[in-house]
Amino acid sequence: MKNKICPECDAVNGVRATYCRKCNASIDHVAVTETVEPKGGNSALKSAPRTGPKTASPRKEEVLLPEKPVKPRVIYWPFVVSLVSMFLMFGIIVAFVLTYDKEPSGTTPSRASGGAAATTTAADTSAETTVPLIDISSVMIGDIADQTYSGEPITIAFSLSHDDEILEEGTDYYVTYTDNLAVGTAHAYFEGNGTVYTGSFEATFNIVSGDPVTDDPNNQGVVYFVLRLSSLMLGRTPTLEELVDQVDRLKTGDVTASALVNEIAFSDEAQALNLSDEDFVAAIYRGVLAREPDDAGLAGNTELLTNGMSRQDLLNSIIMTQGGEFESLCNSLGLQVS
């Protein structure tokens, strides 16, 4: 029977064995031996002489596996802290919104002066009360007497009252005027201060000269004609005596409109103003023609004066033009042109 005898422990192994089944020594190089196993077992084989020198069986070389990388520890506590803080902040905001500006039952929220919150209860006798606004058109106004023309804008100390309480101008109400310079009907506009009194209304009063011709409403256009001439040519409004005299002479025909224009425009007082050529032309448009000068007319007439035309010739060329603006204006007022 063919076997391999282990040189280390003399154990009998099969022909195909490469390692001893007893000591695990390598027997790949061991020669195959023909052995006869007696009936009593394989004791003879165990005592058979060894063949070849006894050599130490080589050990398996220990193979070092690569170290498994260490997985870093994940630190979760910052995330947890942030999450908790976020929930706390959200809870505080919700609580603030739900409880903001809420008052206990039975109280009424209000705003005190300066914007601070205040509350009033039924038992609080010092609580503020809301005063309803009063329409100023419902107040009482005292009689307004006729005012005498003075050549200056006329203002009046009105008497306004409400429930026996006198209103003060500049505190309870404000007033503005129109047409309060000339003889005729003037207008006063009243407006509430917006805190106690609200709304507005209008009142009228008369400005008189004491002369029936000048005070006649039908002659108001003539009054404005005289006022414009003095204001633009003399730089002032006429006195009461001048106004009455000039209006009466125009209406009776004692003086023509063109003659009065020359009388005022070339008076010693007007000459003393020493108007420039352009200002003189503008005064003619505003005072004589009752309108603002157009650019072409202002430039063209100013150039005529610059080139040597006298101011009187320029004025007469404007007011004496047949069918011109000045003639149309005089016809509308019932005045004789020349």
Tens of pLDDT, residues 150-205: 989 999 999 999 998 999 999 999 999 999 999 999 999 999 999 999 999 999 99
Helix, strand or coil for residue 24? coil
Concatenated DSSP letters of 232-278: HHTSSPPPHHHHHHHHHHHHHTSS-HHHHHHHHHTSHHHHHT---HH
Residue (of 165, 172, 163, 204) closest to 191 by Cα position:
172
* Single pTM value for the model: 0.55
Tens of pLDDT, residues 312-333: 999 999 988 877 899 999 999 9
**Residue ranges of domains in the chain:** 1-54, 134-208, 216-333
- Tokens standing for 143? 């009689």
- CATH classification code of 134-208: 2.60.40
Q: What is the mean pLDDT of residues 122-136?
A: 67
* Homologous superfamily of domain range 216-333: Phycobilisome linker domain (1.10.3130.20)
- Is pLDDT larger for residue 118 or for residue 42? 42
Tens of pLDDT, residues 81-96: 777 888 888 888 888 7
Task: Find the DSSP H helices in 43-157.
Answer: 43-47, 77-99
pLDDT at res. 162: 92
pLDDT at res. 112: 37
